[in-house]
Chain A
Amino acid sequence: GAVVSQHPSRVICKSGTSVKIECRSLDFQATTMFWYRQFPKQSLMLMATSNEGSKATYEQGVEKDKFLINHASLTLSTLTVTSAHPEDSSFYICSAVTPKGGAYEQYFGPGTRLTVT
Chain B
Amino acid sequence: GDSVTQMEGPVTLSEEAFLTINCTYTATGYPSLFWYVQYPGEGLQLLLKATKADDKGSNKGFEATYRKETTSFHLEKGSVQVSDSAVYFCAQNPSNTGKLIFGQGTTLQVKP
Q: A interface vs B, CB < 8 Å?
A: 6, 32, 34, 41-44, 46, 49, 93, 95, 97, 103-104, 106, 108-111
- Does B25 have its Cβ within 8 Å of any Cβ on chain A? no
Partner of B104, one of A43, A95, A111: A43
Asked whether, in the complex, the Cβ of B96 is within 8 Å of the Cβ of A43, the reply is no
- Residues of chain A within 8 A of B51, CB atoms compared: 103
Partner of B105, one of A43, A95, A110: A43
- Residues of chain B within 8 A of A46, CB atoms compared: 99-101
- Residues of chain B within 8 A of A110, CB atoms compared: 42-43
Q: How many angstroms from the CA of A106 to the CA of B45 in the assembled complex? A: 10
Q: How many angstroms from the CA of A70 to the CA of B18 in the assembled complex? A: 45
Asked whether, in the complex, the Cβ of A93 is within 8 Å of the Cβ of B100, the reply is no
Count A-B contacts at CB 8 Å.
Answer: 49
- Residues of chain B within 8 A of A103, CB atoms compared: 32, 51, 96
Asked whether, in the complex, the Cβ of A44 is within 8 Å of the Cβ of B43, the reply is no
- Does B103 have its Cβ within 8 Å of any Cβ on chain A? yes
Asked whether, in the complex, the Cβ of B100 is within 8 Å of the Cβ of A106, the reply is yes
Q: How many angstroms from the CA of A16 to the CA of B93 in the assembled complex? A: 36
Instruction: Closest A residue to B98 by CB, please name it.
Output: A97
- Does B66 have its Cβ within 8 Å of any Cβ on chain A? no
Asked whether, in the complex, the Cβ of B102 is within 8 Å of the Cβ of A44, the reply is yes
Asked whether, in the complex, the Cβ of B98 is within 8 Å of the Cβ of A34, the reply is yes
In the complex, 13 of the A-B residue pairs with CB atoms within 8 angstroms, ordered by the A residue number, are: A32-B98, A41-B107, A42-B104, A43-B102, A44-B44, A44-B89, A95-B44, A97-B97, A97-B98, A104-B96, A109-B43, A110-B43, A111-B43
